[in-house]
Amino acid sequence: MRAYLGLGGNSGDRGYYLREALAALSGAAMEIKAVSKIYETEPWGLKEQPLYWNQAVEIETALEPLALLRTCQKIENKLGRERNIIWGPRTIDIDLLIYDNMSWNSEELTLPHPYLEKRAFVLAPLREIAPKLVLPSGTPIGEVSGEGKVRPIVV
């Protein structure tokens, strides 16, 4: 199945955590098909925190949605992710954005990601790797910009 993940973090060495997350994803029952540039973005929700670095990743996987979610959470935990403050600072966040255009709604997982079309920090890198993607809402990704300032960076 084809899925899209959003990676981001704003604590510690942001580049290190993105690289480590990508390396861990590569070895976790999935094949990485595309990786976006890194984008520096404003925080979402809690504004008083450092800027985030974000990326989007396209993968192929045989993992079912909940197994993929748990795999991503294990990688987050291994990289020091703490869940103390909602929308607060973090070393790494790996969000499951889209899973083969599947709809899913449980206590653990909602697909597509409920804020997918509202967050510029998700849409900009996703648009880079999948410019012809039609979002689960039926809207082409090129027609949705989301909220917030986003700028590509060179690392």
Rounded to an integer, what distance in angstroms lies between the CA atom of residue 54 and that of residue 39? 5
Give the model's pLDDT for residue 28.
82
Query: What does the block give as tokens for 101?
Result: 């255009």
pLDDT at 126: 97
Helix, coil or strand: residue 39: strand
- Residue 47's pLDDT is 74
Among residues 14, 19, 70, 95, which one is catalytic?
Answer: 95
The yes-or-no answer on residue 119 being catalytic is no
- Rounded to two decimals, the pTM is 0.93
Domains of the chain: 2-153 (3.30.70.560)
What is the pLDDT at residue 11?
A: 94
Active site residue 151: no
90 is catalytic: yes
Give the pLDDT score at 23.
95
Q: Which CA distances in Å does 81 have to 9, 11, 74?
A: 9, 10, 9
Distance of alpha carbon 125 from alpha carbon 76, whole angstroms: 20
Q: How far is 70 from 65, CA to CA, in rounded Å?
A: 9
> Can 100 be counted among the known catalytic residues?
no
Question: Among residues 93, 119, 127, 151, which one is catalytic?
Answer: 93
Q: Which residues of 26-53 are buried (b: 16+ CB within 10 A; e: fewer)?
A: eeeebeeeebbebbbbebbeeeebeebb
Give the tokens for residue 52.
């985030």
**pLDDT of res. 52:** 94
Q: What is the pLDDT of residue 17?
A: 97
pLDDT tens, N- to C-terminus, the chain (155 residues): 999 999 999 999 999 999 999 999 998 889 999 999 999 998 877 778 899 999 999 999 999 999 999 999 999 999 988 877 776 789 999 999 999 988 889 999 998 999 999 999 999 999 999 999 999 999 999 999 999 889 999 77
- Structure-block tokens of residue 116: 């997918």
